[in-house]
Structure 1
């Protein structure tokens, strides 16, 4: 909501609080076939992309989320060659994946071409890898794409919207099964888990249980991002192999030099939960 020079994000899942950013200039307002879109320049966080009233990325802090959802699975896999990004039309995930020289092919399936176009226009530091020769962009429905590409990918990064409205199906067991089927043996998937330990722990616990019905190895990781819900965002990292250790980089892996948030210590620490959350989620 834009009002009196401020953008305010409100959500039924976090009643009693909201997130507000001061607006310097509105850059774009529109509606695609799939969602409402707003782009504005903020006074403190640079350009901001908003979809259906929810902040998706700001220039100031987006790298924290993008690095963690990409480098946690890529660094946990000993030798990822084929990577798929589901969603992520802002290009941030692609930017991080191309930093791994050993990755040979990177495919993205994004349903909304407008998001890609607006990211290239207003978030150029994020949308800088679409022209990389290893990248192939598919404008298509992620469900259909996954169903037609089985046992193919070493790492899948599911960078989707929050579990509301049509996007709710992206947090159901049937979607997780599609992700598992699209992975090659030893594959790893990282998915945006939306809920954090301060809000809706019951939903987070349910999400983890649904993942465990499909994957033998499931871990919940967190990342600090000021403009996301309560300043913390969660990710489910899942592996097809029960022996995969997701909570530390694989042996002899080299961290990309141009990262700003991710490091080996952050990798390990992201899986450490506060006592109250650990007790609730794992009981």
Structure 2
């Protein structure tokens, strides 16, 4: 449907952003949430869940690269990766860019997000959906994590909505405890923790919960233009504190070995290392 209207994001009651809609592509109420996909003048195609922007074609690479390449290259030998959420397929695509990955399991609770992403945002997931190393499950990530065998994954990547509605259960102590159980001895988990300028409580509370199950907890940052309010934080929890202590030369060598060198638009070895060095207004929310 062709239109010339505006969509206002509803994440914050007191502040926000809006997009000029040039064409509405889909508006669906699934069993879990309201989904809207539209074309914008400024950001290409955009997906909203319950009125909150999840992804745009123009800057999705920033978020997807940092959510994926940082944990995989910090680990250095991840063969089995579990992805919770990320129904658009972008994280799955980046995970499978790593030649070292043998298996990637993606669990998304809302099959409509996958369907609409394949139809209207095909470039984000690309060929990842049919890669033989990928297993895509439409189901509850909480149940999957609760029942997965101990030590069955090396890295867990959680790409969820904020801790409200359908995404709330992915920020609990129980979830992190089960994630620690299914991770291998040097396993780690990353997840989005919001924009701390506006959502400091989210970062603070989830860090305290992760710390009950992991030896090393911290966060790293990415500047995603669509996520208004400054840096987006990505939560980090690892069984081995040494995993976030690498220098750029080590990370570069791993990127070359994994086959992703020269294939990124935001991530670099230097950005990887620097992203863990946080300004005080963010790091003050990470005390344990």
TM interval, shorter chain, is over 0.9
Structure 1 runs of 4+ off > 4 angstroms? 246-251
1:233-252 Cα shifts (integer Å, max 9, x gaps): 11111111243335656563
1:243-264 Cα shifts (integer Å, max 9, x gaps): 3335656563125131111001
Residue 45 of structure 2: aligned partner: 47
Query: Alignment partner of 1:29: what SS?
Result: strand
Q: Distance in 2 between matches of 1:148 and 1:70?
A: 24
Residue 108 of structure 1: aligned partner: 106
Q: Residue 163 of structure 2 contacts residue 169 of structure 2 at CA under 8 Å; is this kept in 1?
A: yes
Residue 254 of structure 1: aligned partner: 255
Uncovered stretches (5+) of structure 2, i.e. residues with no partner: none
More helix by share: 2
Q: Distance in 1 between matches of 2:247 and 2:85?
A: 26
* Pairing partner for 1:275 from 276, 280, 283: 280
RMSD between aligned residues: 1.8
Residue 210 of structure 1: aligned partner: 209
Cα distance change on mapping 1:276 and 1:140 into 2, 3 Å: closer
1:180-223 Cα shifts (integer Å, max 9, x gaps): 111111111111112x2311323322221111111101121111
After TM superposition, the structure 1 = structure 2 runs for residues 9-20 of structure 1, keeping only pairs within 5 Å, are: 9-11=9-11, 14-20=12-18
Q: CA deviation at 1:166?
A: 3.5
Q: CA deviation at 1:15?
A: 4.0
Residue 240 of structure 2: aligned partner: 241
Residue 189 of structure 1: aligned partner: 189
* Pairing partner for 1:80 from 70, 78, 81: 78
Q: Distance in 1 between matches of 2:228 and 2:180?
A: 28
Uncovered stretches (5+) of structure 1, i.e. residues with no partner: none
Q: Residue 220 of structure 2 contacts residue 236 of structure 2 at CA under 8 Å; is this kept in 1?
A: yes
* Pairing partner for 2:66 from 65, 68, 77: 68
Cα distance change on mapping 1:109 and 1:20 into 2, 3 Å: same
Q: Residue 4 of structure 2 contacts residue 20 of structure 2 at CA under 8 Å; is this kept in 1?
A: no
Residue 138 of structure 1: aligned partner: 137
Q: Residue 218 of structure 2 contacts residue 286 of structure 2 at CA under 8 Å; is this kept in 1?
A: no
Q: Normalising by the residue count of structure 1, what TM-score does the alignment of the two structures yield?
A: 0.92
Q: How many residues align?
A: 278
